Amino acid sequence: MSDETDEVTTEEIADAETALGIDETAGAEVEGELETLDDLDDTLGAPSLEAAVEALLLLADEPMTVMDLAAATRQPVDEVEAVVRSLAQEYTEQGRGFDLREVAGGWRYYTRAECSPVVERFVLDGQQARMTQASLETLAVIAYRQPITRGRISAVRGVNVDGVIRTLIARGLIVEAGHDGESGAHLYRTTSFFLERMGIASLDDLPPLAEHLPDLADLEDVLDSVATGE
């Protein structure tokens, strides 16, 4: 028996692997594909597909198609469609206060028809809610001095009116009316809805204010001094 050990070269090992069909490149590709699949499993970004669909539909301000939902969740279209229809059926069976409807080629949440009385009552009560004294005073200043900047309104009332201005805009009683030529500040004026609520045809029909403001003649000077900081 020979004491010499046969040496196997790297080339011979490579030839043997080729003969046996072993390809390191192919193995690396398979591992890469597996890692990609693992990544896809983590891209849902929600506890479940149902939760992901609900979150997206709550966020959307217009109907979302199944294709849009599938693209956002990175899930198969048929699977997403099955989930959407299942949720719609589930809401109906449970008698929830909302339902999921297919409209305009997409899906969107709506309040359930059976809940319309309470929804209507809530909306009407909100519209009929009494305005605060601060809102009434600010609205009066705008009505009689429009267009007027926020700074000048604050000067007349002696307080910050940012929150009140936002409230009046939200109620549709005032709107922005361009910018002041000198300061560049926003100007505000009343709306046609204001006239409607007041029951008058135009601002000319507003009751005279002079008798309630004895210093009206000096008001413009005061406003100018406040605006210029002099």
Examine residue 3 and state whether it is found in any structural domain, yes or no: no
pLDDT band at residue 91 using 50, 70 and 90 as cut-offs: very high
Q: Considering the entire predicted model, what is its pTM?
A: 0.43
pLDDT higher than 70, residue 43: yes
pLDDT of residue 220: 56
What pLDDT, in 10s, does the model give residues 194-208?
A: 888 888 888 888 888
Coil vs helix vs strand at 76: coil
Same domain for 150 and 99? no
Residues 143 and 212 in one domain: yes
Query: In this structure, is residue 208 part of a structural domain?
Result: yes
CATH number of 183's domain: 1.10.10.10
φ, ψ dihedrals at 55, nearest 5°: -60, -45
**Domain-located, residue 124:** no
pLDDT of residue 4: 46
Residues 143 and 183 in one domain: yes
The arithmetic mean of pLDDT across residues 2-17, rounded, is 53
Instruction: List, in order, residues 6 or more apart from 14 with CB less than 8 Å away.
Output: none
Q: Is residue 123 part of a domain?
A: no
Q: Is the pLDDT of residue 35 over 90?
A: no
> Of 114, 145, 161, at which residue does a domain stop?
114
- Mapped onto helix, strand or coil, the DSSP state of residue 65 is coil
Q: Domain range for residue 159?
A: 133-228
Nearest to 99 by CA among 66, 89, 131, 122: 89
Kindly compute the dihedral angle of the four CA atoms of residues 36, 38, 40, 46, in this order, to the nearest 10 degrees: -160
Percentage of residues in the chain with pLDDT exceeding 90?
39
- How many angstroms separate the CA atoms of 80 and 165, rounded? 44
Residues 141 and 195 in one domain: yes
- Residue 218: pLDDT band with limits 50, 70, 90: low
pLDDT value of residue 175: 95
Claim to verify: residue 72 and residue 148 sit in the same structural domain: no
Per DSSP, the residues of 85-122 read HHHHHHHHHHT-SEEEEEETTEEEEEE-GGGHHHHHHH
Q: How many domains does the chain have?
A: 3
Same domain, 24 and 65: no
Same domain, 137 and 199: yes
pLDDT of residue 44: 82
| CB atoms near residue 150 (< 10 Å) | 19
Q: What are phi and psi of 213, to 5 degrees?
A: -125, 85
Q: Please indicate, yes or no, whether residues 188 and 106 belong to a single structural domain of this protein.
A: no
Q: Are residues 27 and 67 in the same domain?
A: no
Residue 141: per-residue pLDDT = 92
**One domain, residues 94 and 17:** no
The pLDDT tens digits for 109-157 are 989 989 989 988 877 765 556 778 888 889 999 999 999 999 999 988 8
pLDDT value for 49: 95
Q: Are residues 97 and 149 in the same domain?
A: no
Nearest CA among 189, 157, 161, 195 for reference residue 176:
189
The answer to the question of residue 4 being in a domain is: no
| Four-CA torsion 170, 175, 180, 181, nearest 10 degrees | 140
Q: Is residue 122 part of a domain?
A: no
Q: Give a yes or no: residue 99 inside a domain.
A: yes
Q: Is the pLDDT of residue 88 over 90?
A: yes
1 belongs to a structural domain: no
